[in-house]
Amino acid sequence: MATTAKKTHPSSQTEKVFTQSEISESEHFVQFFENDKFLLDSLSEFIDTSLNAGDACIVLATKSHRESLEERLTTNGLDLVAANTRGEYISMDAAETLSKIMVDGSAEPGRFAEVLGSMIERAAKGRRRVRIFGELVSLLWADGNRAAAIRLEELWNDLGKTHAFSLFCAYPLHGFGGEVYKLEFTEICQQHSRVIPSESYSALASPDERLRAIALLQQKAYSLEVEKAERKAAEEALLHLAAIVESSDDAILSKNLEGIITSWNPAAERMYGYRTEEIVGQPVTLLYAPYQQDEFTQIMARIRRGERVEPYETVRVRKNGTYLTVSVTVSPIKDRTGTIIGASTIARDITRQKRLEAKFRRLFDSNLIGVFVSDFAGTFLDANDAFLDLLGYTRAELLAGTMERDALTPPEFHSLSQDAVIALQETGASGTYEKEYLHKSGKRIPVLVAVTRIEQTETCIGFVLDISERKELEKRKDEFIGMASHELKTPVTSLKGFLGLLQRRLTIQGDEKTLHYLARMDAQVNKLTRLINELLDLSKMQTGQLVYREDRFEVDALVQEIVENVQDTTQTHRLLLEGQTQAEVFGDRDRIGQVLINLLDNAIKYSPQADRVLVRVSKDQNKVLVSVQDFGIGIAKEHQHKIFERFYQGIDPEEKTYPGLGIGLYISCEIVKRHGGQLWVERKKGKGATFHFTLPLFSEEKGLTPLKHG
């Protein structure tokens, strides 16, 4: 420490800060103080000591400081009037002095040097040392003109280079309360050759007391740093919370214990229609229906008891008078001391959800179809009577949790259920699919099912249609088709046989005219045979009795042969074959031939205005590709997938009818699939249709791969 404090009166706080030897010839020091009394003690001691030593003093202070100072000095026995006359004591008003040197809010260096320089020169006459007490900077600081204060300190230092004087500056410590002053405080300290702490420190007498005070101050500073960090974190958390409240979709409001609204978020504005400025300060009962007064009283009573009101459903009224259904949670708000001062309310608009629920309930209770609610794992949580009756279970059994999807489903359908759950997780809905349930009696029940996920939960709603009757009918129809085609096949085969016989005889007789009619008859019998064969194939496919021969054969030769055969049956279209594969495939040559015949027949049949059909063959590393392109009526997009279904016949845009049973593509598709290939259609609007099918290449390494059994 540059100053050694010496207590003059042990009982008083005042102490000797300045002794003559301690004030050097030329220095610029600063004293911080907490109260005026301390400053005046220091100041009077400074002046007193200096005048007694024969130095000249300049006091640039406020009126009140100068008066108090002079009173003390006079009491100490100094004759100020005489000192003033001798030019040893110069006292000037600080504000007035400032006005002489300030230009546009800042001290003008020229004026400063002139005013203060001449004052010092005057005081220094007779080779006196000059001591100055200056409050100019302190006034600027108090005015908030802090930059000017620091600048003035610099000017004093500059003046010190040309003039010899000691300068005593003083700042009240309370002018530095706040983080913002940290840098400027450091700057002020740097501008001074000596810094004297305020009285709470410098009044301490012993070095030990001072060390303790430093330790205490350090602890205080550290605590403040920690507190600052904590406060910052708390502020950030608060900002974060405020952002959540602002952006929430739920209405969040607070009210005091009288039910007066104290805050209101944007969602509340949207939900109830009141703007923040019109509702804050209003009673929350504005949002209640007239008959709900009791509800309000009960809630507030519970809040006063410190209870939280768990979410409950109720009704509220919007500004425009309409009602909405809300789910509300109310919690007490406490102040720092733990006293309950109000409540916060979070309300979610569930009007839409309620309406949906009501609609769903009606469907559920109508029992038109079976409806169930289940979790993704397959436990049925709820079901309507239609569903329970379908499976032969009681409501009690359902509620006991004994109904499990997998236990109620034959094993071969389990993978379908798994697929449905995956679809639920990915898209929220399964689409419809056919499966079977096991009735309690063990009987199988064919059903059509569709499930959709209940928003954001691991549960779903399922709709179940009993299709037993339809399945039974389909079965009977299949049996009938099987039987009818079988019964038809025998007479048509003998018809064909006799026709051949007749043709041979008439050829020998040279009866050209009758032969011509017989040829037309033959064509019709062929058509009939094909239709019957299609029906027979279909029926065999249904029952898994269609037999495939398995052998390797050349693709190019087969395609060439079929194209030539079909070309013989048409005079209207030219069949143009492109490409070669040199490839072999493994399977039933006749059945693959049947697929190509079917595609070519269709291409001709469905392009009556065209005169050509293109057939292309190609191959890549693994497969051959056969394409049949026509320039006919094409296929509407919505029918693109349906044409491969059984008995599906497309509708011609011009409502023209085409002969056929709608099963050719179904059979073709099945055949190609059994060979491990694919059949699909490519459509270009107004440009006909192109059917493609692929077949895996035969490979020696793989050997003979048996056909898939489906």
By beta-carbon proximity to ligand ADP, the closer residue of 370 and 688 is: 688
Q: Tell me the closest approach of the beta carbon of residue 482 to ligand ADP, in angstroms.
A: 18
Beta partners for residue 32, in sequence order: 171
Chain centre to alpha carbon of residue 126: 85
Q: Tell me the closest approach of the beta carbon of residue 664 to ligand ADP, in angstroms.
A: 3
By beta-carbon proximity to ligand ADP, the closer residue of 258 and 638 is: 638
By beta-carbon proximity to ligand ADP, the closer residue of 459 and 569 is: 569
Q: What secondary structure does DSSP assign to 298-362, as a single string? A: HHHHHHHTT--EEEEEEEEE-TTS-EEEEEEEEEEEE-TTS-EEEEEEEEEE-HHHHHHHHHHHH
Q: Tell me the closest approach of the beta carbon of residue 531 to ligand ADP, in angstroms.
A: 9
649 touches ligand ADP (CB under 6 A): yes
Angstrom CA distances, 627 to 243, 598, 674, 675, stand at: 62, 12, 19, 17
- Rounded CA gap, 50 and 168, in Å? 12
Q: Smallest Cα–Cα separation from 696: which of 624, 638, 600, 641?
A: 624
By beta-carbon proximity to ligand ADP, the closer residue of 318 and 684 is: 684
By beta-carbon proximity to ligand ADP, the closer residue of 40 and 665 is: 665
Residue 680 · residue 692 · CB < 8 Å: yes
Residue owning tokens 């033959």: 522
- Residue 141: how many CB atoms within 10 A of its CB? 22
Residue 452 · residue 460 · CB < 8 Å: yes
By beta-carbon proximity to ligand ADP, the closer residue of 371 and 635 is: 635
- Rounded CA gap, 372 and 355, in Å? 19
Pick from 60, 643, 672, 679: which binds ligand ADP (CB under 6 A)? Answer: 643
Identify which range of 190-198, 312-320, 349-357, 645-653 contacts ligand ADP by CB under 6 A.
645-653
Pick from 134, 259, 482, 632: which binds ligand ADP (CB under 6 A)? Answer: 632
Pick from 119, 603, 615, 625: which binds ligand ADP (CB under 6 A)? Answer: 603
Residue 288 · residue 296 · CB < 8 Å: yes
Pick from 602, 626, 675, 693: which binds ligand ADP (CB under 6 A)? Answer: 602
Chain centre to alpha carbon of residue 108: 61
Total residues in contact with ligand ADP, by rule CB under 6 A = 21
Question: x/- binding map, residues 171-190, to ligand ADP, per CB under 6 A?
Answer: --------------------
Pick from 259, 332, 482, 650: which binds ligand ADP (CB under 6 A)? Answer: 650
- Rounded CA gap, 652 and 606, in Å? 9
By beta-carbon proximity to ligand ADP, the closer residue of 477 and 505 is: 477
Q: Using CB under 6 A, which residues numbered 88 to 127 contact ligand ADP?
A: none
- Rounded CA gap, 493 and 496, in Å? 5
Kind and range of the H or E element at 382?
strand 380-383
Structure tokens at 14: 């005042």
- Rounded CA gap, 468 and 457, in Å? 32
- Rounded CA gap, 299 and 258, in Å? 12
Identify which range of 26-34, 37-45, 482-490, 642-650 contacts ligand ADP by CB under 6 A.
642-650
689 touches ligand ADP (CB under 6 A): yes
Q: Smallest Cα–Cα separation from 600: which of 621, 590, 614?
A: 614
Pick from 288, 380, 606, 698: which binds ligand ADP (CB under 6 A)? Answer: 606
Pick from 648, 680, 692, 705: which binds ligand ADP (CB under 6 A)? Answer: 648
Q: Tell me the closest approach of the beta carbon of residue 634 to ligand ADP, in angstroms.
A: 6
Question: x/- binding map, residues 652-681, to ligand ADP, per CB under 6 A?
Answer: --------xxxxxxx---------------
The length of the chain in residues reads 710
Question: x/- binding map, residues 463-492, to ligand ADP, per CB under 6 A?
Answer: ------------------------------
By beta-carbon proximity to ligand ADP, the closer residue of 433 and 644 is: 644
573 touches ligand ADP (CB under 6 A): no
Q: Which residues would be at the binding site for ligand ADP (CB under 6 A)?
A: 598, 602-603, 606, 630, 632-635, 643, 648-650, 660-666, 689
